[in-house]
């Protein structure tokens, strides 16, 4: 994905990040549907992020997909990219920004490809970049990697929902 971006990558030690506690404050998802363990912003503009998910045999979906040859479903790889994108938006609103978002909702996906299986023991990396946005509508490009090999990719659109202050 670096070839489509002009902005250089931040060194890993300089990347702002969210740990699992921060993630759980921002996303409503919980086990078994919370698919991001950690997020780092990979560029200073905070328009690119890398999400991480440790894949273990204990994941609930492996019970039926497939018991003798466990493979992470492709739609969950897309969901992991979408959660990373949502965290990137929710976690990067500047203090000077007067908007408060209560969530980021998935709208559509396109140009989706699945290249290799994701199996227990993998560390899944979700590389996500904002391609464009208009107001609170964001278009993202996402790619999943395992050990530097591209596993899947997609373009998708999501919408930030402003918090109207009502409880």
List residues bridging with 51 in a β-sheet.
Answer: 39, 126
List residues bridging with 54 in a β-sheet.
Answer: 123
Burial 10-45 (b: 16+ CB within 10 A, else e): eeeeebeebeeeebeebbeeeeeebbbbbbbbbbee
The Cβ of residue 63 has, within 10 Å, a number of other Cβ atoms equal to 10
Going by C-beta distance under 8 Å and a sequence separation of 6 or more, which residues neighbour residue 111? Answer: 153, 154, 155
Q: Per the structure block, which two tokens stand in for 135? A: 């107001």
Of the candidates 29, 65, 127, 129, the residue annotated as catalytic is: 65
Q: Is there a contact between 66 and 49 (Cβ–Cβ < 8 Å)?
A: no
Does 127 participate in catalysis according to the annotation?
no
Q: DSSP code of 8?
A: P
Residues assigned a catalytic role: 65
């Amino acid at each position: 994905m670096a070839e489509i971006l002009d902005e250089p990558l931040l060194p890993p030690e300089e990347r702002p990040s969210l740990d699992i506690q921060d993630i759980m404050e921002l996303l409503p998802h919980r086990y078994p549907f919370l698919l991001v363990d950690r997020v780092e912003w990979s560029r200073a503009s905070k328009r690119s992020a890398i999400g991480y998910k440790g894949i273990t045999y204990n994941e609930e979906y492996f019970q039926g997909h497939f018991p003798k040859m466990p493979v992470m479903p492709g739609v969950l790889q897309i969901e992991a990219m979408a959660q990373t994108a949502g965290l990137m938006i929710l976690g990067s609103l500047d203090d000077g920004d007067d908007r408060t978002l209560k969530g980021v909702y998935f709208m559509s996906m396109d140009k989706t490809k699945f290249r290799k299986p994701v199996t227990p023991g993998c560390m899944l990396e979700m590389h996500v970049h904002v391609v464009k946005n208009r107001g609170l509508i964001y278009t993202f490009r996402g790619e999943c990697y395992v050990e530097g090999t591209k596993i899947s990719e997609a373009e998708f659109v999501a919408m930030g929902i402003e918090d109207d202050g009502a409880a």
